[in-house]
Amino acid sequence: MILKVLLVLAVIGTVYFIFFKKKPIKSSAPKHKKHTQEESNDMIECNTCGIYSELSDSIQSGSKYYCSSECLEKA
């Protein structure tokens, strides 16, 4: 009797693992993103006064960054 119960439980467990257990979904997005552009929270040094400011707050002129319009005018 116990052998029959164990056999039924084994069959039910096998069917569950084969058909109903969800397999992990592999995402197509890469795990490690390569940063081609600088992020907005990166700190950039002002070319004139040397103060660090966030990239989103700084002013870019050519390849140089400035913390304010006054520093841009000085350069």
Full-model pTM: 0.46
CA-wise closest residue to 66 among 39, 48, 42: 48
CA-wise closest residue to 45 among 37, 53, 35, 33: 53
Q: Which domain holds residue 64?
A: 40-75
pLDDT attached to residue 11: 94
User: Could you tell me the CATH number of the domain that includes residue 64?
Assistant: 3.30.60
Count the domains in the chain: 1
pLDDT tens across 4-56, in order? 999 999 999 898 888 877 666 666 655 555 555 555 578 889 998 989 988 88
User: Is residue 66 situated within a structural domain?
Assistant: yes
